[in-house]
Amino acid sequence: MARTRRVRRLSMTSLIDVIFLLLLFFMLTSTFSKFAEVELTAGGSGQAAAPAGVPPLFLQVGEEMLALNGERLGIALLEASLRETVQAAEMQPLIVSLQGGVTAQRLTDVLVVLRTVQGLRVTVLGDA
């Protein structure tokens, strides 16, 4: 006597319950934190600028080094060095030049330090 096998349909209810429990688990175990924001402003149109009364500072950013006006320093000393250099009378222009291999994280770390110094107008040079 030949036995015929019955094909049972799978119940989707159990699968939906498992997906809901996984979703609930991941929602409850994840953390939602706000990361620091770095403001970047786009450059304006190419108009001639009035000559500045304060000469600009020049900051070179490399993978492992920083140089402010040609003097090498670490990121820990950057804020103190800028506070000594910045003149409080006017907004001090600071031109940031990125060398090859500088990561976005490295640039962000430098911009976070620059944000703490009052009186700076930062311009980041980059490839077009």
Residue 55's pLDDT band (cuts 50, 70, 90): confident
More confident residue, 42 or 15: 15
Q: What is the C-alpha separation between 106 and 117, in angstroms, rounded?
A: 18
- What is the average per-residue pLDDT within 3-16? 78
- The answer to whether residue 63 sits within a structural domain is yes
Provide the number of structural domains found in the chain.
Answer: 1
Identify the top-confidence range among 14-23, 53-62, 83-92.
14-23
- The answer to whether residue 47 sits within a structural domain is no
- The answer to whether residue 39 sits within a structural domain is no
More confident residue, 10 or 57: 57
- The answer to whether residue 90 sits within a structural domain is yes
Contact 38, 112 (CB under 8 A): yes
- What is the average per-residue pLDDT within 70-88? 83
- The answer to whether residue 85 sits within a structural domain is yes
Q: What is the mean pLDDT of the chain?
A: 80
- The answer to whether residue 4 sits within a structural domain is no
DSSP states along 49-101: PPPPSSPPEEEEE-SS-EEETTEEE-HHHHHHHHHHH--SSSPEEEEEEEPTT
- The answer to whether residue 108 sits within a structural domain is yes
- The answer to whether residue 81 sits within a structural domain is yes
Between strands 92-98 and 71-73, the pairing is: unpaired
Which residue range is the domain that position 108 belongs to? 57-125
More confident residue, 128 or 8: 8
Give every CB contact of residue 126 below 8 A, 6+ residues apart in sequence. 98
More confident residue, 48 or 66: 66
Given a cut of 70, whether residue 53 has pLDDT beyond it is yes
Distances (CA, A) of 44 to 9, 49, 72, 122, 123: 65, 11, 31, 14, 12
